[in-house]
Structure 1
Amino acid sequence: MLSGAIAGDVFTSPPTGSISAAIRTMDRAGAAAVLLIVKNYTGDRLNFGLALEETKVEGISVEMVVVADDCAFTTKKKTGRRGLCGTVLIHKMAGAMSEMGKSLDEIVERLKIILSKLGTMGICLSPCSVPGSGPTFHLETDEMELGLGIHGEAGIARIKIISADEVIQKIIDHMTNPSNESHLSVQAGDHIVLIVNNLGGLSCLELNIVANSAVKYLESKEVIIERAYIGSFMTALEMGGTSLTLMHADHEELKLLDSHTSAPGWATVAKHRLVRKCRSLNVPYLEPENTDTPPGSGPFVDKARSVLDMISTTLLQMEEELNELDREAGDGDCGTTHARAAEAIKNLLTSGAVPGNGHQLLLCLGRIIREHMGGTSGALYSISLIAAAQNLKDNNNPSAWAAAFNSGIEAMKRYGGAEPGDRTMLDSLAAAADELRKMTDEGGNELQVLAEALQKAAAAAEATKDMIAKVGRASYITSTQLTRPDPGAVAGAAILKAILTALEQPTPEVQE
């Protein structure tokens, strides 16, 4: 079904380096081409997109399809519909077409047609908890969450508990309501494929009750169910809930679904016999590319070490604070993600390999963040650092650093799709960038300007608590549920404060 899969941390996009390594592994194993199947989340699009561009430059034939099958939203979202359980059908059919010898272009063209005929929506009785953290949201014992995602984020509505038949009717009616922006049109006589998916915490009994309700209701609407798959296909840890996926399918698409696979997680239906067999690829171990930058010495390196130590220490101390802020708006891992970056920076300091100029330092940090941080923040920070570095090729003057900061912000906006006011990390960073433009190479006003930029960044971060999220996972949550500042914006202001604190110290003192 799939030749390779790349795992990130829990609810976090894998780092670009891991994705690129998997693409290269497939290429060296003899693949004619590589297809990336990605769910529509910003971090996934960024990291997989960066890996795609990176490996295309190497001459590898690689393309990407993005699955966006969420039918929960009544209005159009800037970030689009989320990728949910319908992705497993795309996996199955893409794999079947590959086994038939179809070309990459043929597969991508057919999948784009299939994606337009696909819809999913979920509901739960209880949330999940990222390991080491509390529940991602709270439900009373008599409440259900409607239209949620697969990363622990809250849904579009909270309703009182009703019977399974009523729940399923509510979900299907919402999914197929033509007045909703993200609906899937289903009429009497349509031939569809149904997935009843366990989000992680339902018993087999409960799941089959839901399946029975779904089949009964669809048949009452004279919909022809060609295939019904029931099981745990795309879970959200231990979330006590289910999702329904509907897909219009013609004869050729049913043949793709019915084609044999040895994938042990694929469900059996009337024509199927599950073969529990694993096949491994005989691929030689590939040494990673050497991307180390020669270390430097002198005043610049001493000050850089002081700044990096202060940033990493600050982020490690703020881990739980940022996680707590993120539990309101996302999956509760913002602090953990930043802590991974901080630990990687600490390792750089310990290694003594801090580069001796700004250009190489930012490139080095960009690679470290890309490899170790992961998630949307990791991709955005990495893109920002690499873009910023270009301004420091010729000098390390204050005005060059201000221009570098601004270039990094512009790269974030270009690739991430957000703008100031969208309730993201950009709000604090862009506010600081506006102030940093006052930086000059004469007069020694660097610390004063940076202090004023920090004040603007802190105020902008605090102001995000009153904003409506327009991008990212927080955009899927009702604005009335968002009462605290955006964690990414808070982290951005904290990084600037750490930089200022370190630069104000007359003598750098780094603990190793």
Structure 2
Amino acid sequence: MLSAAVAGGVFASPPPASILAAILSLHSAGASGVLLIVKNYTGDRLNFGLAAEQARNHRVAVDMLIVAEDCAFEQPSKAGRRGLCGTVFIHKLAGALAEEGCSLDQIVSKMTEVLKGIGTLGVSLSPCSVPGCLPSFELPPGEMELGLGIHGEPGVKRSKVATADEVVKMMIDHMTNPDSQSHLPVQSGDRFVVCVNNLGALSCLEMAVITRAAIVSLESRGVIVARVMSGSFMTSLEMAGVSLTLMKVDQETLRLFDAKTSACAWPNISSVSVSGRSYITDSPAMSTRPQEDTHSEGPLSPVMCKVLEKVCSTLLEKQEELNALDRAAGDGDCGNTHAQAAKAFQEWLRHHVVPGCPGQLLSVLAGLVQEKMGGSSGALYSLFLTAAAGHVTERRSNAAAWATAMHAGAQAMRRYGGADPGDRTMLDALCPAVDELMKLTSATPGGEMTVLQNAVQKAVTGAESTRDLTARAGRASYIAAERVTMPDPGAVAVAAIFKAVLQSLEEQTSA
């Protein structure tokens, strides 16, 4: 099945450095490519996406498959459906294809098709609790929660406790309701693999009763139950609940599902030998922190140094302004996180030489914001810088190359962050500015500064426009629209950064 797994804290995504270390370890062990199988949660998308971008800069072939098979929400939000126990099926099938020598592209293509036929829904009689914390939600005696996630979050519907047959029927009805945007199409004669997954605290007897109810209910609809898994495959700590996953299969998918594996918790363990496998334990140590590298100066070093110094001083000056804007729609720390990044840059500048290669500098900055800035902003900026770094690798990268780099960074933010222009985020300032910068790819010599001035104005206008936008992403999307009347702090910060870059370049040109 999996060649590596990376763990974070309880209910938290792992840090990008750990993910990158796993990727590089597999690469050094001879892997021709690495597939990241990621459940659809913002933190996971961001941190695994950032690690993937960093790995590509190490010339590693990496792709990412997002699993989003939750059937709970009739109208999923922009964030999309969550990734649940169906991820285990993808682990098994992708692992079988890799074992057979299929290419990375072939595996991704096949799994993308399989995902269209997977659906999951959970139900529970209790919440769970992170060790040392209160329960994740309150559930009165005699009631149950339908449509839970795997991180202790409550469901979409609450009802009275019923018999196993009634509960399973309700679950399957909800999963297959054609009026729901996240439903799983099921027709008489379809073949499915079924997984009855213990969310943590059900007994073997209870699991057996629910498994029987699931088989009976599906067969009453004319569904052919090709295989059944019953056990603890993706738990939610001590939650007294169960999730039901259905995967539509053809003969080829079923063959991959049945392929033998040495994964110790897979149901066919009794028929599979787990001995005789070799494991890589002595891979050479590889640093995942680009800021530790040593660099030499180049012609652009003084220019980039002054630009960076100006950006830092600007962000520190705007710390309280950004905090005030954030208090109106978030947790009030936007200025603090940007100031942390600025201070980290200043500290780095005091002890290091600015590299001559712009791409190396961007990689350094990406590592610093990843480690020092924190929050979603740190991950997003690091994604932007990491994706951009690969496009300005020459010591004399021209304006067109910088524009292409900025465009790649913005696209990485959109791809992994899940937001778009118009969603009231930093992208509303960044994307219009980057679109304007793309004119540098065809600008006549001497016109570069005019394009940059126009890009700055686009960023400022875009940031101000967020005042009138409805938040569809980020923390502000959870606040009532009538209470969000100030510009988005992330967008204001981006506009300030663009303005600082322009001011620094203008000062150096006139000097």
TM tier, shorter chain?
0.5 to 0.7
1:126 is matched with: 126
Q: Which residue of 2 aligns with 1:199?
A: 199
Bigger mean CA offset, 66-75 vs 406-415: 406-415
Determine the C-alpha separation between the residues in 2 that align with 1:491 and 1:140.
40
Checking the alignment, whether the CA contact within 8 Å between 1:195 and 1:245 is kept in structure 2 is yes
| 8 Å CA contact retained: 1:39, 1:68 | yes
Distance (Å, rounded) in 2 between the aligned partners of 1:66 and 1:123? 23
Conserved? CA contact 2:315–2:493, under 8 Å: no
Indicate the residue corresponding to 2:284 in structure 1. 285
Q: Could you tell me how far apart the structure 2 residues matched to 1:300 and 1:65 are?
A: 37
| Distance change in 2, residues 1:285/1:386 (3 Å) | closer
Summarize the alignment of residues 283-322 of structure 1 with structure 2, pairs less than 5 Å apart: 283-288=282-287, 290-291=292-293
The 8 Å contact of residues 40 and 80 in structure 1, kept in 2 or not, is answered as: yes
SS of the equivalent of 2:267 reads coil
Partner AA of 1:71 in structure 2 = C
| 1:3 Cα deviation from its structure 2 partner | 0.9
Q: How far, CA to CA, are the matches of 2:340 and 2:132 in structure 1?
A: 18
Which residue of structure 1 lines up, in the alignment, with residue 222 of structure 2? 222
Distance 2:95 2:388 in 1: 40
Counterpart residue number, 2:48: 48
Is the CA contact 2:53–2:386 (under 8 Å) kept in the aligned structure 1?
no
Task: Report the counterpart of residue 243 of structure 2 in structure 1.
Answer: 243
Residue 149 of structure 2: aligned partner? 149
Whether the aligned pair in 2 keeps the contact of 1:312 and 1:343 (CA below 8 Å) is no
CA distance in structure 1 between the aligned counterparts of 2:406 and 2:97, rounded to whole angstroms: 46
Q: Matched residues in 2 for 1:68 and 1:353: separation? A: 45
Cα distance change on mapping 1:169 and 1:377 into 2, 3 Å: farther
Deviations 1:333-379 (A, max 9, x none): x99xx99999898777777547779x898764422233567775443
TM, length-normalised to structure 1 = 0.67
CA contact (8 A) 2:476 2:484 kept: no
2:208 corresponds in structure 1 to: 208
Deviations 1:306-353 (A, max 9, x none): 8888999999x99xx99xx79xxxxxxx99xx9999989877777754
Greater mean deviation of Cα atoms: 62-71 or 293-302: 293-302
Q: Which residue of 1 aligns with 2:86?
A: 86
Q: Distance in 2 between matches of 1:375 and 1:191?
A: 43
Within a 5 Å distance, the mapping from 1:169-208 to structure 2 comes to 169-208=169-208
* Paired residue type of 1:211: T
How big is the shift at 1:430?
A: 10
- 2:428 counterpart of 1:422: no
Q: CA deviation at 1:276?
A: 7.8
Unpaired segments ≥5 residues, structure 2? 397-404, 435-448, 450-458, 497-511
SS, match of residue 126 in structure 1:
coil
Tell me which amino acid in the other structure corresponds to 1:370: Q
Secondary structure in structure 1 of the residue aligned to 2:189: coil
Q: Deviations over 1:226-246 (max 9, x none)?
A: 221122212233433321100
Q: Is the 8 A contact 1:191 1:249 kept in 2?
A: yes
1:225 shift after superposition? 1.9
Alignment of 1:17-96 (within 5 A): 17-56=17-56, 58-75=58-75, 77-96=77-96
**Cα distance change, pair 303–185 in 1 and its aligned pair in 2 (3 A):** closer
Higher RCO (CA 8 Å, separation ≥ 6 residues): 1
> Does the CA contact (< 8 Å) of 1:136 and 1:152 recur in 2?
yes
Deviation at 1:193, TM superposition (A): 0.9
Report SS of the residue matched to 2:149.
coil
SS of the residue corresponding to residue 286 of structure 1 reads coil
Please report how far the alpha carbon of residue 218 of structure 1 lies from its aligned counterpart in structure 2 after TM superposition. Answer: 1.8
Aligned to 1:503: none
Match for residue 101 of structure 1? 101
CA distance, structure 1, for counterparts of residue 343 and residue 131 of structure 2: 24
- Structure 1 residue 7 displacement after superposition: 2.6
Aligned to 1:158: 157
- Structure 2 distance, partners of 1:340, 1:109, is 39
Write the distance in 2 (CA, Å) between the matches of 1:27 and 1:7.
19
Whole-Å separation in 2 of the counterparts to 1:482 and 1:138: 27
Partner deviation per Cα, 1:422-473 (whole Å, 9 max, x = no partner): 3656689999x9xxxxxxx9xxxxxxxxxxx99x98997x999x85x4x479
* Corresponding residue of 1:116: 116
| Cα offset, 1:67, TM superposition | 1.9
CA RMSD of the aligned region, Å?
5.8
The alpha carbon displacement at 1:260 in A equals 2.0
Counterpart-to-counterpart distance in 2, 1:107 and 1:409:
27
Distance 1:266 1:87, change over 3 A: same
**Per-residue deviation, residues 367-394 of structure 1 (Å, max 9, x unmatched):** 2233567775443122345689999x99
Given that residues 311 and 495 in structure 1 are in contact (C-alpha distance below 8 angstroms), is that contact kept between their aligned partners in structure 2?
no
Q: Letter of the aligned partner of 1:280 in structure 2?
A: Y
The question of whether the paired residues in 2 share the 8 Å contact of 1:264 and 1:274 is answered with no
Mark the CA change 1:370 to 1:103 in structure 2 (over 3 Å): closer, same or farther: same
Query: Contact 1:293–1:353 at 8 Å: present in 2 too?
Result: no
Range with bigger deviation, 143-152 or 346-355: 346-355
| AA partner of residue 217 (structure 1) | S
CA distance in 1, matches of 2:370, 2:407: 20
Bigger mean CA offset, 372-381 vs 288-297: 288-297
Q: Distance in 2 between matches of 1:273 and 1:495?
A: 55
Percent identical pairs in the alignment equals 47
* Cα gap change, 1:187 to 1:14, in 2 (>3 Å): same
Answer whether contact 2:69 2:115 (CA < 8 A) is retained: yes
Contact 2:50 2:386 survives alignment (8 Å)? no
CA distance in 2, matches of 1:406, 1:100: 38
Query: What is residue 445 of structure 1 aligned with on the other side?
Result: none
Q: SS at 2:370's partner residue?
A: helix
What is the TM-score when the length of structure 2 is the normalising length? 0.67
Figure out how many residues of one structure are paired with residues of the other and give that number.
Answer: 474
> Where in structure 1 are there 5+ consecutive unaligned residues?
327-333, 395-403, 434-440, 442-452, 498-512
Distance 1:305 1:293, change over 3 A: farther
1:192/1:246 contact within 8 Å kept: yes
| Distance in 2 separating the partners of 1:353 and 1:36 | 36
1:340/1:275 Cα in 2 relative to 1: closer, same or farther (>3 Å)?
Answer: farther
Structure 2 counterpart SS, 1:287 = coil
What is aligned with 1:505? none
* Residue 399 of structure 2: aligned partner: none
SS of match in other structure, 2:78: coil
Would you say the 8 A contact 1:190–1:223 is kept in 2? yes
User: Aligned residue for 2:455?
Assistant: none
Quote the Cα distance in structure 1 between the aligned partners of 2:352 and 2:194. Answer: 55
Secondary structure at 2:88 match in 1: helix
Query: Counterpart amino acid of 2:120?
Result: T
